[in-house]
Copies of this chain bind each other. A is one copy, B any other.
């Protein structure tokens, strides 16, 4: 797909939605940028259609719900199969994020949530069954997401 070039309005929209995708209304962004709300809506639609905005997700602190086993599983996939295996890994119950990395080893990073040790063993086994080699497994203690600061627009 072709690159979507961003202007100041696009960047302001992306920054606002990274900050709070649920409560940030198109009217608020519009007012801040001095355009009509429908202009912001059209831009968002176009950013979605062009694959720039790919989703809006709630950030959850699993530990607060009693799920203590929020883990990072480092896996290795044969390079030609990496993309397919990364997609398949998403289907494993408990997996909440997958990142493909361009490196020699440990080229698929998987975030998974387990209810107990048995559950984690099951997740490990299923990842192994689809063809991923598990190299390491660690507890994620904390996770922060923050907007890309270069998208911010000066007032």
Residues of A in contact with B (beta carbons under 8 Å apart): 1, 3-6, 14, 17-23, 50-62, 64-66, 72, 83, 86-87, 90, 93-103, 109, 113, 115, 136, 138-150
Contacts of A103 in B (CB 8 A): 136, 138
Q: Are B22 and A21 in contact (CB-based, < 8 A)?
A: yes
Q: Find the B residue at minimum CB distance from A56.
A: B22
Q: Would you call the interface of chain A mostly helix, strand, loop, or mixed?
A: mixed
Q: A18-B57, A21-B22, A58-B53 are in contact. Are A96 and B146 (CB under 8 A)?
A: yes
Residue of B nearest to A20 (CB): B56
Which B residues touch A66, using CB under 8 A? 3, 5-6
Contacts of A144 in B (CB 8 A): 86-87, 90, 97-99
Query: Smallest distance from the beta carbon of A39 to chain B beta carbons, Å?
Result: 18
Partner among B23, B51, B52, B139 whose Cβ is within 8 Å of the Cβ of A102: B139
